[in-house]
Amino acid sequence: MFSLTHFLTGRTSVRSMVLVVWAVATIVFAAKSEALFGVRNLDSDDVMRLVQVRDLLGGQGWFDLVQHRVAPDGLIMHWSRIVDLGIASLILFFGTVFPPDLAERAAGALWPTLLLGPALVAVAAIAERLGGRRAMPLGVILFCLIGPAGAQFYPGRIDHHNVQLLACLVTAAAMLRLDGGRAGGVVAGLGAAVMLSVGIETLPVLVVLCAAVGLLLAGDPVRYRAGAMAFGLWIALGSVALTALTIPSAQIAAAHCDAISAPYLAAAIVGGLGLAGMALLGAGFPAIGRWITLAAVGAAVAAAVAFFGPACLRGPVSEIDPRLLPIWLNGVQEMEPLWPAFARGDRLAVGSVGYLGLGLVAVVLAWRFADARRRNALALVATLQAVAFLVALGQIRGVYYANAFAAPLIAAGVVALQGMLRVPSGHRNALTLAAIIVISSCSFIAKAITPDPAQASSRPASAAADSSGLLGCAEPATYKAIRNVAPGVVLAGIDLGPFLLASSPTHSVLGAPYHRNVDGILASYTLLSAGVDKAEALLRARGVVAVVMCGPVPNVRAPGSLARALENDVVPPWLSAIETGTAARLFVLR
């Protein structure tokens, strides 16, 4: 029977160590989660994922990726059914013994916990290749302690980031074993296909991984022949299979740059088969011939993307409507560049820069004691961390991946430091414990020297709403009141859309925090910005039956607007205020 632990690490005994860390981390993560289940205190993406899974279980077609209750015409989601399948399966399983609400809560708690186990195995495998067996336990412990990476596996995190992070780690771990035969290539190729299918956020990391296969193959075609051939075939076959099984044919043919479609699928096929062909024939080429062939494969991949979707050469965000930037996207926390966040003392940014520095120091330390094979591994993982950090310079969510790769790098550095200091074997555990305390203190230091997010007045308006006001709006009582309102469209701040959809099956929303929802976001902004005297006619024309407010509406500044009036408790006569008992306020059109 195939064992991921045994394959990635070569040591079945590692299973016990990973199991202990997994159990402890699960308990700690559960304790740190203010609310494990339900709608309250979850990210808007987690809640929208729950809505999507509910619709699937309620009879919506597998290939119907439209969120039909996002007005005016429905919203085609760019998320993968791969994640929906796992969560829906758990809900069905728990539904055999629990009522529906409890089944959802149990599934929401268990899903990220199940993903954490194989993620820790992959981290252990990477750490072993970088620093030897003694780096493995330290690597998995640090992964759990480094906030941005470990936090993706908190109970209730059912969006796609943890699945992407898991696929990324497994792919990297298998890549470090390409010289062991075709098994490493198969696992790495399938992992890369999952990365591409689940989301395009990891595209820069995936490009580095694919380029690394080509570089290794060009440098030593005999040693890496079997692994590289398997990688190329399985990234191509896996991408085709996953796309065919999860995406409607009409969307496959379309050139969407924010999800897998014709441009990226063509790149996976051309690049994968190109690498496989190079592995098959490259051993007979001279060195210059192999490098020319590799360059030709890269050019063919770029040409395939340019042919099917030239805009995608500019990246996944190339198709975003620029009108969304000032009224919404510029204030989304995970889309903010790293340095502005660091400059104002954002905890995530400050801690992440610290871990990057530790990772770089660790590479220098480990390099000194590494042989050629280990140096190749160090170079790859350090490059992955650096590329993820470069992504974070544009979008801070890149730190999830940068910090994940920092954990095994730092572990390898600590082991190397023990060798430099010639620490006796009896004292190594003490030094390792000291390293854990010092390294994990980056998060505590960042927390101590940075302001409370809820009180950081210089923070972008929508980000502040996302961290404080939004959680106040995620109160069950608020949505119970909405259920008593006649079916129709609810107008609210953009970030509230998923919570409203999750809490009332009979209502639609205009705004939801997704870049494809251009018409809905623009309409929400227009209605909330309209003057009180004109707003009534506009709302009724859109079929709006209720308005939900929770603190300031981000980026709506007009003093005479409907949003400003309701924030100042000035309720126009055509609205009736409904008591909710929460931070949110509900107004129903008379």
Where is pLDDT greater, at 426 or 259? 259
Tens digits of per-residue pLDDT, 414-464?
888 877 777 666 666 666 666 666 666 665 565 555 555 444 444 433 433
pLDDT in tens, 134-168: 899 989 999 988 878 888 998 889 999 999 999 99
User: pLDDT tens digit string along 523-571?
Assistant: 999 999 999 999 999 999 999 999 999 877 877 878 889 999 998 889 9
| Percent share of the chain, pLDDT over 90 | 56
What is the phi/psi pair of residue 317, to 5°? -95, 10
Cα dihedral across residues 408, 412, 415, 417: positive or negative: negative
For 221-231, the pLDDT digits (tens) are 999 999 999 99
| Cα three-residue angle 377-116-383, rounded to 5 degrees | 25
| Number of residues written out for the chain | 590
Paired tokens of 559: 């003093």
Single out the residue of 289, 196, 273, 260 nearest to residue 230, CA to CA: 273
Global confidence as pTM: 0.91
The SS3 of residue 109 is helix
Instruction: Count CB neighbours of 552 within 10 A.
Output: 17
Please report the pLDDT score of residue 441 as a whole number: 64
pLDDT tens string 245-254: 999 988 888 8
Chain-wide mean pLDDT for the chain? Answer: 86
pLDDT tier for residue 469 given thresholds of 50, 70 and 90: very low
Q: At 369, is the pLDDT very low, low, confident or very high (cuts 50, 70, 90)?
A: confident
How large is the average pLDDT for residues 199-223? Answer: 93
CA pair distance 588, 576, nearest whole angstrom:
5
Q: What angle do CA 551, 552, 557 make, to 5 degrees?
A: 165
Residue 6's pLDDT is: 57
> With 90 as the cut, is the pLDDT of residue 27 above it?
no
How far apart (Å, rounded) are the C-alpha atoms in residues 441 and 195?
31
Q: Are 538 and 97 in contact (CB under 8 A)?
A: no
